[in-house]
Amino acid sequence: MSAVWLEGLSLEGFPVAALAAYGALRLLVEEEGMEGVRLVFRDPQSRPVPGLLGVEEGELLCRLARRLRRVPPLPPELLEREKLEGLSPEEMRRLASADPRARRFLPALLLPLPGGGAFPSPLDTSKGQQRLTKTLRENWEAARRTHLLKGLRRVLFSGVLLGPGEVLWAWARVRGRASRRRSPLEFGLVGWHPSQYRQWAEGAREPSGLPFHEKVRIHPVATLLAWEAVPLFLLYPAPDGVRAAGVHDPEGQPSLLLPTPGHPVSLEALRALLLQAPLALQDPRAWPPEVALWRSPRLGHPKRQKDPYPVYVEARPVLRGPQAGAQTPGGSRRGR
């Protein structure tokens, strides 16, 4: 069985591409019921390129586009909130029992703490006016107002970043009707790429006045795909505090741990790798030799107002087994 190689999601130093590959797998398996789909990485230890087995390219594009267009990134009752931290345990239980999507996301978004309050997901890099729910709403609306299938093809097979001067256009509407005028789109930025927030993460300073379209941005379709990976990063209590699957958090400085398996893995196997990844840093002997492990550290702090904006920066391999990089099935989609 050959793989559909997602060349646009090669892990070139930042986490959003790997998260988008994980999110695509979870969406297909858990939301679309395609239980036979598997994830594999070509060259997992040097320039990981994800591939999906068990789905054809056309079906992959159509299912992802249909899902992203119709289903909001969070249930409406959550997406319309200004922030999620104020959710009480009772509200979380009610939402989880009423909505399957809330049931999947809430255990990875918030963990109620004894005495009140909640521990937020380490993937939440929002702060100040750039609230998580606002960012997700803006990305969802931007993706739906463009040619979503075209955007999805670009993200999966070309690249997830929009360069300086690259504009996403949407047809303007006049009195509720489509017109021939086009308008450039703006959308929320997330700190999953160093070009967006690094200048603020390295020191507490005001955002620069650089125009939106002159910045390097993550394509909104890529942000939505990466968001679909969040339920894999489950929060759970531990003797020394709160831990998250796939997160190494020494002294409040979290890093995302990104497994890149050189052999095809199921969604459940990927979940197990993410849970095991923090332990593998302590004892590499327990880590499968055919799986490389990359780490993307986070700079900045998401809560303290005097500290800078948080951002995940360059990912580098931390575990390279002798079999990492083994030949993977099907070869490259576009050649090597």
Q: What is the pLDDT of residues 42-61, one digit of tens each?
A: 999 889 999 999 999 999 99
Range with the largest mean pLDDT of 66-80, 114-128, 173-187, 287-301: 66-80
Which range of residues forms the domain containing residue 244? 217-317
Q: For 275-284, what is the mean pLDDT?
A: 91
Element housing 89 (H / E) = helix 89-98
* Nearest residue to 153 (alpha-carbon basis) of 260, 64, 47, 264: 64
DSSP track, 242-295: EEETTEE-GGG--EEEEEEESS-B-HHHHHHHHHHHHHHHH-GGGS-TTEEEEE
Say if residue 315's pLDDT is above 70: yes
pLDDT confidence tier of residue 241, bands split at 50, 70 and 90 = confident
User: Which pLDDT score is estimated for 171?
Assistant: 73
User: Which pLDDT score is estimated for 200?
Assistant: 59
Say if residue 207's pLDDT is above 70: no
Q: Do residues 241 and 169 share a domain?
A: no
pLDDT confidence tier of residue 215, bands split at 50, 70 and 90 = confident
Domain boundary among 69, 85, 112: 69
User: Which pLDDT score is estimated for 325?
Assistant: 42
322 is a domain residue: no
Q: Do residues 182 and 228 share a domain?
A: no
198 is a domain residue: no
Structure tokens at 331: 């070869």
- Does the reported pTM lie above 0.85? yes
Q: Do residues 248 and 296 share a domain?
A: yes
User: Which pLDDT score is estimated for 286?
Assistant: 83
325 is a domain residue: no
Say if residue 206's pLDDT is above 70: no
Q: Do residues 244 and 305 share a domain?
A: yes
Q: Do residues 230 and 290 share a domain?
A: yes
88 is a domain residue: no
Q: For 96-124, what is the mean pLDDT?
A: 92
Q: Do residues 221 and 312 share a domain?
A: yes
Q: Do residues 188 and 222 share a domain?
A: no
Q: Which residue has the tokens 């709160």?
A: 242
Say if residue 190's pLDDT is above 70: yes
| Residues 6 or more apart in contact with residue 240 via CB below 8 angstroms | none
Q: For 247-253, what is the mean pLDDT?
A: 84
186 is a domain residue: yes
pLDDT confidence tier of residue 334, bands split at 50, 70 and 90 = very low
101 is a domain residue: no
Say if residue 199's pLDDT is above 70: no
- Span of 63-72, 118-127, 169-178, 275-284 with lowest mean pLDDT: 169-178
Structure tokens at 141: 């609306």
User: Which pLDDT score is estimated for 179?
Assistant: 62
Q: Do residues 150 and 226 share a domain?
A: no
User: Which pLDDT score is estimated for 82?
Assistant: 86
Say if residue 267's pLDDT is above 80: yes
Say if residue 245's pLDDT is above 60: yes
pLDDT confidence tier of residue 336, bands split at 50, 70 and 90 = very low
228 is a domain residue: yes
Higher confidence at residue 241 or residue 220? 220
Mean pLDDT of the chain: 87
Q: Do residues 238 and 299 share a domain?
A: yes
Q: Do residues 60 and 132 share a domain?
A: no
299 is a domain residue: yes
When divided into structural domains, the chain yields a total of 3
Q: Do residues 139 and 173 share a domain?
A: yes
Q: How far apart are CA 274 and CA 119, in angstroms?
A: 19
CA terminus-to-terminus distance, the chain:
18
Q: Do residues 302 and 228 share a domain?
A: yes
Other beta carbons within 10 angstroms of residue 138's beta carbon come to: 18
